[in-house]
Chains A and B, each alone.
Chain A
């Protein structure tokens, strides 16, 4: 009987040790935790054109293609471009900072009137954007004026290779977008102020990993900071 008791004892020890080791789960907690730094603006689940679709067979989707929308940092205003009147009223103005265009509103432009394919083409704004592969919180100053002037970044969308300036990777296996972590954009805004921007997610609820092919999109999570004193100090710590 002694062997039986010993066996039970070791079984008990084994089970207790398992109970301790087996209760850690992946990716728990608040998806937005850590985004708020007290200075930056965090935009959660900004709905893009969820009625749009790419193909012809999407029954019930209202139309093909996606409506563009504009976004203004200062008052978090979302401006929809639904028709010619909207285009005429907003596109060529300095009233917006970034535009969400293309499939799933995933292709983003800063307001730059001089570039032919920019939504603001022909307008007066002359924004510029510089990409920097560093964590948002550690980006403390805007780029130099020379760097802004030299920047050739226009569309910020799918980053199909390591030199692309896009904000997301796209998996050809799962057909899902994955925002690139620790990539920050420095923007010289139409009103001359400097800002930094991080695009965090395109899926509703800001899930760290999308686990469902049909996860609702586009719902943008992003954060930005605009230095209102006109200086290049972008420290948000």
Chain B
């Protein structure tokens, strides 16, 4: 590892000195001019034009004429806006040493369609798989949306999306926080950066606050089984973070935000082309800190329930065109988190202070080589390395006794060769082959040689006719301990009429058991239980038996479970339609059904003489998440957007349902804790799986007043009541158990841009109503932040 981190630093150093070494060449520049007209051919005076990614800005003159001078040649996205007209967006090519012209006719407001998303034009720099053309429904969050929200960390962005929640996993400890999507827990949602998997989980939970949003181009969210694209782990969906890439002109950005909880969010970014535009590089550094927050002051006399932390992130990317058709790229990310959370219970001689510390190091490195062949074939060779090191411990300060300690390191190497081929304009193929090796070091277990797996896939995107489109694919994964798995997916779109599109999708997913479930022997001395990974179950029990530590073993379970943990599987169905009755209204309705089988759960296999309970893991028959998701957006007039989303969800475990129906053990009865009476339980008493809300909704109002360069937004998020813990010992959630109340969280932001949009001042307020609940230890109260951002670039 020493070698790579040195190399990494060297690479970052190179990135830093690029802007000094390079000078834009005048002969590489061109200009763009033209006229902006309305539908009657009259000039539009004072219309605002922006060229991205370099943020060049001009306004039209009295004749509706504009001119961008001295622009570095390349492909730009142009945006034209003027009050009373719909915003126009397109791509333009500016050729060197030439005056390029374009005339644009703006449509009037009543026809305005705010959905100006032109994704087809995006250049895919390091991943040929088009995630936005996945069979399963995809949501894309753009960097403009992120900027408007004023969010700092990825969890803050995602928890405002329809059907997504960020939840604390109490059983996993105070730091176990993960994302939940259409009812799937964090274990089943794969997190990727530029199409490569990120690692590092705490009891299965991926803490999204590790990721800064400062250098993100967009976020792609796939809801539903996506193993067809990504293999194991994408059983319930995937979240792909696309980092920024490629500017045509040297530019830099500095931003600083400060406010409640002593939150500091500071970012420095630089981008530049080099060597006559053949190369481009960018680098971004972010520092973030927070004091954390105490949602439980009645019981915690000091300290916090949401951890304070200091995060440092350094990210960079460099690309260089070696030949006409070949481009070499590299990107890297280095993230460090240091966190110490104190929790003080009681007072005076009965005071107990827990000192909970966590250090995380996270490295992602990737090298790509992109080659275009003359026959329309494109190749992308990718190597990726990621390493995650986590060191956590909890110490009781008064007695200097340790409550828990865990240290582990996880390393993944991956090589992948991708191809894409456009057979005709309407038929595209993407395929790939690759291999992984994964290593895990933990003081409790170690797997010699690591886990090997290999994969191959083929995806097709076929526009059969003007009315009918199909996307689909198949992926094969081979795992050194789990053999082969095929995962197909298919998505169909049928444009019944131009205003109404019907969509159907089906896909499968799987997840191989993780290291912990297979090899870890985990003792919790405080709660006095032992969990034994299935691969070492029999051997460990034998050893304990010989030492006289076992009082009872359920042998039939050991015979059945030893070295016999199967991969979890899922099957997802999605179906719905998109309806745009007029151009400024869009409605999406989608029903989903996810069936999960072989779900892994713990089961008690033995009783010890000292240790009360000994557990291992088993596959449970089935559970399911089903529901309905709706979204609607309306643009009543130019600059004002209203969008709303709603999700109805039922998530239930079929094993629990069977146990209730059959009256098995504890499931048979239900206790009303107010009367103290027990009665027989019925299937209708079952509320569903913990942490899942039946109803979730959001509403977003955004207003952009271009003449003043002011944008403002208000977002309201509702989360319906959800089960917290079983309180009457029947092991399922019923009406007498503990629930977290349904609640609204209101966020808002206002931003004003000055000095030709170079400077921006932003005021944001999260959780304006200051709503907190001790059962939501991770949700802080009101946070108000003031931010300043300045962009540096040459006119």
Contacts and interface: CB of A to CB of B under 8 A. Distances in A.
B299 A172 contact: no
Contact of B716 (A18, A53, A172): A18
A144 B725 CA distance: 37
A4 B743 CA distance: 29
B701 A11 contact: yes
Contacts of A56: 523, 525, 610
Residue in B170, B746, B772 with the greatest tally of chain A CB atoms within 10 Å: B170
B745 A51 contact: no
Contact of A24 (B170, B526, B741): B741
Contact of A204 (B352, B637, B674, B677): B352
A87 B638 CA distance: 84
Contacts of A174: 170-171, 725
Interface in A47-93: 47, 50-51, 53-61, 64
Contacts of B777: 211-212
Interface stretch (A27-35, A147-155, A189-197, A229-237): A27-35
B707 interface: no
A45 B346 contact: yes
B726 interface: yes
Nearest to B602: A172
Nearest to A65: B610
A94 to B, nearest CB: 30
Given A7-B636, A31-B299, A182 B345 contact: no
Contact of A55 (B400, B405, B525, B666): B525
A133 B677 contact: yes
B346 A205 contact: yes
Contact of B773 (A25, A135, A170): A25
A54 B611 CA distance: 7
A52 B729 CA distance: 26
Residue among B299, B400, B669, B772 facing the most chain A CB atoms (10 A cut-off) = B299
A3 interface: yes
Contact of A15 (B602, B726, B746): B746
A148 to B, nearest CB: 20
B677 A26 contact: no
B678 A162 contact: yes
Contact of A161 (B343, B400, B665, B744): B665
Interface residues of B, number: 78
A50 B604 contact: no
Contacts of A219: 346, 350
Among A47, A58, A183, the most chain B Cβ lie within 10 Å of the Cβ of: A58
Interface in A1-20: 3-4, 7, 11, 14-15, 18-19
A173 interface: yes
Residue of B354, B769, B770 most packed against chain A (CB within 10 A): B769
B276 interface: no
Nearest to B775: A26
B769 A22 contact: yes
A24 B671 CA distance: 27
Given A7-B636, A29-B298, A64-B610, A135 B676 contact: yes
Given A58-B402, A172-B731, A181-B673, 19 more contacts: A15-B746, A22-B745, A27-B774, A54-B611, A55-B610, A56-B610, A60-B400, A60-B401, A135-B674, A169-B729, A176-B725, A182-B674, A204-B350, A209-B724, A213-B174, A213-B526, A214-B394, A216-B345, A219-B350
Name the 4 nearest CB pairs between A and B, nearest first: A60-B401, A133-B676, A54-B528, A175-B527
21 contacts: A14-B699, A14-B716, A22-B744, A22-B771, A23-B769, A25-B741, A25-B772, A26-B775, A56-B523, A161-B665, A162-B671, A171-B725, A171-B726, A174-B170, A176-B527, A181-B674, A209-B724, A211-B777, A213-B171, A213-B173, A214-B403
